[in-house]
Chain A
Amino acid sequence: MSDRPAVHSPYAEAAQQRDADLLGMYVFLVTEVMLFGGFLSAVSMVRVLHPQEASSAAQHLNLWLGSMNTAVLLTSSLAMALSVQVSREGKRRPTIIGLCLTAALGLVFLVIKGVEYYQEYREGLMPLSDGIKPLSKPGEQLFFNFYLVGTGLHALHLTIGIVLVAGLVWGVFRSRVQLPHRAVTVEIVGLYWHLVDVVWVFIYPIFYLAR
């Protein structure tokens, strides 16, 4: 991703560079799809191997907080989509507001997720928590461990996304990312954000809803 309006070395013209940047992000997202795709297929296999245990473990998850987080994240994607649109029209202030809203909603998601993890720790669901273990059957703890790793990996991606959006806000604010000339930079970060959102759209039903 380029911060300067100038065309970089291997490129002859700005349009070619924009196309390449965009394609680069799409290819990167393909790798993310394979990463989470492999993980989710493993979760599906656990659900097939241990159907009873998976659904009883899923009932220990907090459906309300999970659903609230789904709403928060989908709204953040709306804010991101609007930012991409206004950045193409060259409107700096609305772009910055939209991006700030996106990042803020991302932070809200992480806070809710943290509260949820804390509750689960208190209930003794975590593999390292002390005291009574409500998940006594083997498949139950396995399912919960998959949930923990999957949501953790997603939270890590979301954290990276928030850092990227914050950097982008700074770039637009300091006019390092010039709009609408480099609106593609906003679009590229937006693509990443939407992917993190889409991953959650798969994580949410496979862990929370199928109980």
Chain B
Amino acid sequence: MTVGATLETSPERTSYLRAGYTLWSWLATTDHKRIAVLYLYSITAFFFIGGIAAALMRLDLATPGGDLLSNEGYNRAFTLHGVIMVWFFLIPSIPATFGNFLIPLMIGAQDLAFPRINLASWYLYILAGLFTLYAMIVGGVDTGWTFYTPLSTLFANGYVVAALLAVIVVGFSSIFTGLNFIVTVHKLRCPGMTWSRLPLFVWSLYATAMILVLATPVLTMLLILVCVERVFGIGILNPDLGGDPLLYQHLFWFYSHPAVYIMVLPAFGVLSELVTAAARKRIFGYWFIAYSSVAIAIIGFLVWGHHMFVAGESMYASAVFSFLSIAVAVPSGIKVYNWIATLYKGSISLDPAFLFAMGFIGLFVIGGLTGLMLAMIAVDVHVHDTYFVVAHFHYIMVGGAVTAFFGALHFWWPKITGRMYNITWGRITAALIFLGFNLTFFPQFILGYLGMPRRYHVYPPEFQVLHVLSSAGASILAMGYLLPFIYLLYSLRHGQPAGPNPWGATGLEWTVPSPPPKLNFAETPVVTRPPYDYPIKDPMSRE
């Protein structure tokens, strides 16, 4: 990591980046800021591995015959893509990097509650990553990221156990992160940082941490059962012994649906920070946004059955799950309306971070509305397991969570590194990602509605035009993801010093120098003002 001169010169206030230069000073650090940077490097590496798998799939799908990959190879590519993107990129993405870096700074604390557990969570993440890479190198896994039984226990011949161990271990890493966030937010807020003054980013990560802690152990237990059955032959879900494959699906989605909110709630939190800073205006409906995060976390636990409408669950269960899945859209909608209302009569600057935020809103709304369609049983039965579903969840996870991740990266990069990047290139990237994403995934809605099933790589020739459009979009999207590498890394050496607050944003993290000193605050801050104390007051507020 290259670092130039910082604004602070006194030795006890040296930047966290200059607190030590050896590799060991990074690998043995308990500083939340350094652990965040370690996570940033590692999730970026996995993002690229998962991206390569996606690129292989898109190339293969350019022709109807599936000429690039074998049937087995295609199965392994989409399993790898799913496992890596879900557990090694999306779930740790915003919480483990920006959450780790920013929560203590935002609430006026010197570190997270358990710094050593924080470091342990990174090591567990790396260990799990090694398991995944091992499974990938020795031959791959072909079960899909869902590991459905009895395929995964009795029939699949890939390296399923290595992949399962990877997911179990990375789950412990998630639990440690979530536990740390909950205790930190409860016990380490500085004087005056009341719950009503908490930045909404912290609120959303608090809700995320709740899901991490409550949902992950169920997956851990379930995958242990699958491992026991596959390794020792102790039948637990085996239909021959009277075991129920539906039980697996219930418990799997009890984790994996809330996991979607683990991915997207932090993105909501990022949006609240980006939108207020760009509009220079107080947030509209602080409590609505804060409580809608909590509401999503709670309702999100009660909707898992919508993944199983055609799996044979009872009609009455399906009806209830359908209703609850529609209900969970309400708090999400509240957030979108509040961000738009925050922009109303704001003094908006078109920073790259803001463009990413706008991209997020557009893509998330499409993803959310198609989610409502899928929550209707009749529509779901028609498009179940088609590209319609694939397009829907990519609009949420990639269009939503990944776009917000890039928005956060462009917003807090000057804080993390102390350097300003090229704004114009940032804007170009935001536009490229938005266009490339839509070109990649919008055709997939049409494909799915016409009946193209997911996880197939040989398809009728009449679908080729839409598939080629999608693959072409993917190449633009890939460029959009690669560009920041160039100008962000360039900024490390050649960027202008950013100063403590380049965007004129509020929040305690902008009161400390960039990059922050090793000890976050020279003296404990005392908060006396409400959050988002921007110059423009809301014309509709009664204050």
CB pair B236–A30 under 8 Å, yes or no, is no
Closest chain A residue to B176, Cβ basis: A28
Question: Please, how many angstroms separate the alpha-carbon atoms of A39 and B220 in the complex?
Answer: 10
Q: Of the 9-residue stretches A15-23, A95-103, A107-115, A199-207, which lies at the interface with chain B?
A: A15-23
Asked if B27 CB lies within 8 Å of chain A CBs, one says no
Question: Please, how many angstroms separate the alpha-carbon atoms of A138 and B244 in the complex?
Answer: 12
**How far, in Å, is A202 (CB) from chain B's closest CB?**
14
Question: Please, how many angstroms separate the alpha-carbon atoms of A142 and B124 in the complex?
Answer: 33
CB pair B235–A10 under 8 Å, yes or no, is no
Question: Please, how many angstroms separate the alpha-carbon atoms of A31 and B186 in the complex?
Answer: 18
Q: Is the interface of A mostly helix, strand, loop or mixed?
A: helix
Contacts of A37 in B (CB 8 A): 218
The 22 sampled A-B contact pairs (Cβ below 8 Å) are A9-B111, A10-B104, A10-B184, A16-B187, A16-B188, A24-B114, A24-B179, A27-B179, A30-B213, A31-B175, A34-B216, A38-B222, A39-B221, A42-B251, A53-B242, A128-B232, A138-B240, A138-B241, A142-B242, A145-B234, A145-B241, A146-B236
Contacts of B243 in A (CB 8 A): 142
Given contacts A23-B187, A24-B179, A128-B232, contact A31 B216 (CB under 8 A): yes
Asked if B476 CB lies within 8 Å of chain A CBs, one says no
Asked if A149 CB lies within 8 Å of chain B CBs, one says yes
**How far, in Å, is B177 (CB) from chain A's closest CB?**
12
Question: Please, how many angstroms separate the alpha-carbon atoms of A50 and B241 in the complex?
Answer: 11
Contact of B244 among A23, A34, A49, A127 (CB under 8 A): A49
Asked if A139 CB lies within 8 Å of chain B CBs, one says yes
Contacts of B244 in A (CB 8 A): 45, 49
Q: Which of A9, A11, A141, A145 has the most CB of B within 10 A?
A: A145
Interface size class of A (residues with CB under 8 A): 35 or more
Given contacts A30-B213, A31-B213, contact A128 B233 (CB under 8 A): yes
Asked if A153 CB lies within 8 Å of chain B CBs, one says yes
> With contacts A27-B183, A34-B218 known, what are 17 further pairs, Cβ within 8 A?
A9-B111, A10-B109, A10-B110, A10-B188, A11-B188, A27-B182, A27-B213, A34-B213, A35-B221, A38-B221, A38-B254, A39-B221, A42-B225, A42-B247, A139-B241, A142-B238, A145-B236
Contacts of B235 in A (CB 8 A): 127, 141-142, 145
**How far, in Å, is A152 (CB) from chain B's closest CB?**
9
Question: Please, how many angstroms separate the alpha-carbon atoms of A153 and B225 in the complex?
Answer: 10
**How far, in Å, is A46 (CB) from chain B's closest CB?**
8
Report the interface size for chain B: residues with CB under 8 A from the other chain: 46
Contacts of A32 in B (CB 8 A): 217
**How far, in Å, is B120 (CB) from chain A's closest CB?**
13
Contact of B183 among A24, A53, A138 (CB under 8 A): A24
Asked if B112 CB lies within 8 Å of chain A CBs, one says yes
Asked if A12 CB lies within 8 Å of chain B CBs, one says yes
Contacts of B186 in A (CB 8 A): 20, 23
Given contacts A38-B221, A141-B241, contact A127 B251 (CB under 8 A): no
Closest chain A residue to B178, Cβ basis: A27
Question: Please, how many angstroms separate the alpha-carbon atoms of A92 and B537 in the complex?
Answer: 61
Asked if A198 CB lies within 8 Å of chain B CBs, one says no
**How far, in Å, is A2 (CB) from chain B's closest CB?**
10
Chain B residues within CB distance 8 Å of chain A = 30, 104, 109-115, 117, 175, 178-179, 182-184, 186-188, 213-218, 220-222, 224-225, 228, 232-236, 238, 240-244, 247, 251, 254, 524
Closest chain B residue to A135, Cβ basis: B241
Residues 116-137 of A, flagged 1 when their CB comes within 8 A of B and 0 if not, give 0000000000011000000000
Question: Please, how many angstroms separate the alpha-carbon atoms of A146 and B183 in the complex?
Answer: 34
CB pair B115–A10 under 8 Å, yes or no, is yes
**How far, in Å, is B504 (CB) from chain A's closest CB?**
29
Q: Which of A42, A141, A153 has the most CB of B within 10 A?
A: A42
Contacts of B111 in A (CB 8 A): 9-10
**How far, in Å, is B317 (CB) from chain A's closest CB?**
13
Given contacts A9-B110, A23-B187, A139-B241, contact A149 B218 (CB under 8 A): no
Q: Is the interface of B mostly helix, strand, loop or mixed?
A: helix
CB pair A50–B242 under 8 Å, yes or no, is yes
Contact of A149 among B109, B117, B234, B247 (CB under 8 A): B234
Contacts of B242 in A (CB 8 A): 46, 49-50, 53, 138-139, 142
Given contacts A38-B218, A50-B242, contact A20 B188 (CB under 8 A): yes
CB pair B228–A149 under 8 Å, yes or no, is yes
Q: Which of A37, A49, A149, A153 has the most CB of B within 10 A?
A: A149
**How far, in Å, is B488 (CB) from chain A's closest CB?**
30
Q: Which of B222, B242, B244 has the most CB of A within 10 A?
A: B242
Contact of A12 among B218, B247, B524 (CB under 8 A): B524
**How far, in Å, is B249 (CB) from chain A's closest CB?**
12
CB pair A20–B183 under 8 Å, yes or no, is yes
Contacts of B217 in A (CB 8 A): 31-32, 34-35, 38
Question: Please, how many angstroms separate the alpha-carbon atoms of A142 and B243 in the complex?
Answer: 7
Asked if A164 CB lies within 8 Å of chain B CBs, one says no
Q: Which of A19, A20, A32, A50 has the most CB of B within 10 A?
A: A20
**How far, in Å, is A31 (CB) from chain B's closest CB?**
4
Question: Please, how many angstroms separate the alpha-carbon atoms of A45 and B218 in the complex?
Answer: 15
Asked if A148 CB lies within 8 Å of chain B CBs, one says yes
Contacts of B215 in A (CB 8 A): 34
CB pair B241–A9 under 8 Å, yes or no, is no
Question: Please, how many angstroms separate the alpha-carbon atoms of A51 and B235 in the complex?
Answer: 18
CB pair A142–B236 under 8 Å, yes or no, is yes
Contacts of B224 in A (CB 8 A): 149, 153
CB pair B241–A142 under 8 Å, yes or no, is yes
Q: Considering the complex of A and B, which 5 residue pairs feature the smallest CB-CB distances, nearest first?
A: A138-B242, A35-B217, A10-B111, A38-B218, A34-B217
Closest chain A residue to B246, Cβ basis: A45
Contacts of B188 in A (CB 8 A): 10-11, 16, 20
Contact of B187 among A19, A53, A139, A142 (CB under 8 A): A19
**How far, in Å, is A180 (CB) from chain B's closest CB?**
21
Contacts of B30 in A (CB 8 A): 9
**How far, in Å, is B180 (CB) from chain A's closest CB?**
8
Question: Please, how many angstroms separate the alpha-carbon atoms of A31 and B220 in the complex?
Answer: 10
Contacts of B112 in A (CB 8 A): 10
**How far, in Å, is A19 (CB) from chain B's closest CB?**
6
Closest chain B residue to A28, Cβ basis: B179
Contacts of A23 in B (CB 8 A): 182-183, 186-187
